[in-house]
Amino acid sequence: MSKSIPARLKPHLPPHKSSATRVISVFAACCCSSSSATYHHDPAVVGYSQEDVALPSRILELFSSWSVKHSKVYVTPKEKVRRYEVFRQNLKHIVETNRRNGSYWLGLNQFADVAHEEFKAGYLGLSTGLAGAGGRPRAPTTAFRYEAAVDLPWEVDWRKKGAVTPVKNQGRCGSCWAFSTVAAVEGINQMVTGRLESLSEQELMDCDSTLDHGCGGGLMDFAYAYIVGNQGIHTDADYPYLMEEGDCKEKQPHSKVVTISGYEDVPENSEVSLLKALAHQPVSVGIAAGSRDFQFYKGGVFEGTCGTQLDHALTAVGYGSSNGHDYIVMKNSWGGGWGEQGYFRIKRGTGRPEGVCDIYRIASYPTKNNGTGWGWGA
């Protein structure tokens, strides 16, 4: 019989409560049995060796090999020089952060030649300002169906239960809100119908334009409302992603759509509430991701530095504990080369109501009745 959280449900899972917590497997095959210090200095993980950063000539060689690996092509020599300088400064930050031997580490990724302000402008797209002075849209009901939940499992991983599609890549477009929405809908649809289907972020980009703004940002609740009002969302195969906004396409004959019944908000600033919801289904979450540490996160349990405002959306797909660190695991939309094969673990149980990077401030999930499954285009 599996271990459960006591009925009183403490704000975070007690680490090392039993042998079960000591053997919790690491999400996304992260292999955290070794010390974090090992990962901080493993070239295969962080993308550089100590010798690479010892001399300017070695840094230049590292930049060249990194450029080839990521298929970087610079139009002019001047642009290449500028990008090298950005790369050098980013590498310096990564090296200095990893020398602290904290609970997480950074590494060279596809953003290594991207200045931080450029990164924030191009890849973060949660727009809480769209909701007006209230800071977030409100679900049509204030109900939280998991409020009375007790005896939650010590760990949850919706990927292992077949409710999570492979990691996707939003590209240089502030469409994280669409990916967060779609991942949560993919999850609840699989749980109700038994079928895991990759759904269309592009449809939300093109058609959900009343309050959301494509690459210009959006909010998950508005996207859920669109799916409900539109009586479903197409599959990615029928409406593929373009990494840019396009014209809204009408439903095609015989095209499959996935429906939801509605959506609900998780009570704000409540770790307990998020865990209750996450124990039952994947959840859309907004975080303050506008920091260089988040830009270059490679692995471990993240506990800061964070951004100054909610500006990015991910999907929470599990929680657990590893090496004394309690965490929530998130699916990101920056491809498998970022983070832990596209995933991100963030520390929980800090005692702060809003959580690390404000992860408990804005979270929501779709609802789906057993009678609402597949539909077909008109």
Structure-derived torsion over alpha carbons of residues 133, 134, 136, 140, reported in degrees to the nearest 10:
-130
Task: In whole angstroms, give the CA distance from residue 66 to residue 72.
Answer: 8
For residues 155 and 319, is the Cβ–Cβ distance under 8 A? yes
Instruction: Supply φ then ψ for residue 130, to 5 degrees.
Output: -65, -20
Amino acid at 179: F
Dihedral (C-alpha) 10, 14, 20, 21: value to the nearest 10 degrees? Answer: 130
| Sheet strands side by side (includes 374-376) | 233-234, 256-258, 374-376
- In order of 27, 140, 184, 335, the CA distances from 331 in angstroms are 11, 26, 10, 10
Strand partners, 365: 264
How is the chain split among helix, strand and coil, in percent rounded to 5?
A: 30, 15, 50
Q: Which two tokens stand for residue 322?
A: 């590893």
Is 332 among the residues known to form the active site?
Answer: yes
Catalytic residue, from 12, 213, 332, 357: name it.
332
Distance CA 347, CA 281 (A): 20
173 carries an active-site annotation:
no
Q: Point out the catalytic residue in the list 32, 173, 176, 357.
A: 176
CB-side exposure of 330: number of CA atoms within 13 Å?
33
Report helix, strand or coil for 322. strand
Tokens for 101, please give them. Answer: 């031997």
Pairing of the two strands 104-106 and 297-302:
antiparallel
Helix axes 220-229, 176-193, angle to 10 degrees: 50
The catalytic position among 12, 40, 234, 312 is 312
280 is catalytic: no
d(CA 194, CA 43): 41
Active site residues: 176, 312, 332
